[in-house]
Structures are given as C-alpha cells and as structure tokens.
Homo-oligomer: A and B are copies of this chain.
C-alpha cells in the first residue's frame, strides 16, 4: 500500500464547491457539525482517502462487516453553495503525516474545483459554556468582514496556542496554494462532546453560505449529553441522602 491511497467513488460536477472539514478534535465540534450536514442533506460519497498515517484498524458495522479506516469526502448540493464535506475518525499520527494527509485532502478539493475552505472545530474554554460564541480565524484579512457579518468573533491572539492539526493546516497549507480558508471554532468546555457548540458553528456556516439544515440529530445528541452531564454533576455533588456509609471510603 502507498502512504496515501485515494479511491474515486464518484466524480459529480460541482459548481465552485466549498471544502468543509470536520475531523475529530476539541469537543468533537467539527466532526459533529460535518456529520449533521451529511445526515440532513442528500450527499454523495465521492472519495475515500486511506493512509498509513491512520491507525492500523478496521471498524465493524452493525452486520459485523469491517471497513478499513479512512477519511471520506461527500458532495452535498445546497441552495446556497455546493459543499465538499470531509469527515473521518482520525487525524494523522505524526507531524509529517499531518502535512502529508492535509496536502492530499487539498489535492482532492482542488480536483473538484474548490478554492474556498472552512475548517470546523472547537476552542476549549475550560469552563461551562452558556452562550455558544463562534470564534474565527482567516488565512487572509480580507475574509474577516464577511464572517463578522454572521456574528463570528475575532479576538486578539486567540486561540492562544494557534490552531493545530488538519484544521490548522487547511488554513496554513491552503493559503500557500491560493485557497481562501477560514476556521470556525465553537466555544466548548473541552471536557465533553458538545453538540450545542457544533450547532452554533453550523448556524454560522449556513448563514454565511446561504443554506438551511435541520438540527434534529444534534438536538438529540445534545439531550443525551445533558443527561450524561447531569449524571456526572450528581456524582460530584454526592447522593442527597444516605451518604453516611460513603463518608468512610476516601
């Protein structure tokens, strides 16, 4: 196997498509947002990207059938713009791998004629988030105004540590190839998978690109996560009654 192998599943004509990246990261915000897009829209799988940078792993589906770990591109046509949505379960394993894999992703996007890209992700706040602000970063200053117009916030030197992983390189390597690239980062505690933050990011994206999707799946997941968070809270607060026996444990 080559370091990177790309399977062409379908090659529909797309009209100036926009690359939307949603790989795993902080709060799985980008991944949840991209997956929601695919669930609500009628997308077409167009490319599978296999790479020796991903773990040596197959996933097993409901029928016990395995599939080699890969990243996938789906073509999604919306009323606002054609999208090329990149999802998957993994980032690369090494520094050099991140560069190589992101280069391959940008190759695919270019092949479909994309020249704009949005990297979706989360930015950790370290505390409970009440209002789901979306922070932005852009590969070129000229892109800032149109994002501020849809309520994306820009804060001096944030995020402090820069943007790492595939999202960062979509901007960094993308710019070097002439992409107009932006990163949309939903604020999130950083401790839990955060569907609400994903929704905030998606709302910004659809306003920017002029399409609309339902949020049913994200809302369901948000309710699940609230249950989880509630249970964790309970465990931390301790039982309301009958905790006498527990007092002696720790």
Residues of A bordering B, CB below 8 Å: 1, 3, 52-69, 92-96, 98-100, 102-103, 136-141, 144, 154-159, 161-166, 168-169, 171-173, 175-176, 183
Give the residue name and chain of the B residue nearest to A64 (CB): B154
Whether the Cβ atoms of B64 and A168 lie closer than 8 Å is: no
Residues of chain B within 8 A of A144, CB atoms compared: 63-65
Whether the Cβ atoms of B63 and A141 lie closer than 8 Å is: yes
Whether the Cβ atoms of B157 and A65 lie closer than 8 Å is: no
Instruction: Supply 15 A–B pairs (Cβ within 8 Å), ascending by A.
Output: A1-B103, A52-B96, A53-B96, A56-B98, A56-B166, A57-B163, A57-B169, A58-B137, A58-B162, A58-B163, A58-B168, A64-B154, A65-B144, A66-B163, A69-B172
Known A60-B157, A162-B58, A162-B60: A66·B171 in contact at CB below 8 Å: yes
Q: In whole angstroms, how far apart are the Cα atoms of A103 and B164 in the complex?
A: 26
Give the residue name and chain of the B residue nearest to A172 (CB): B68
Whether the Cβ atoms of B69 and A137 lie closer than 8 Å is: no
Query: What would 6 more interface pairs be, CB under 8 Å, given A55-B164, A58-B163, A65-B137?
Result: A1-B173, A3-B96, A56-B98, A56-B166, A57-B163, A93-B95
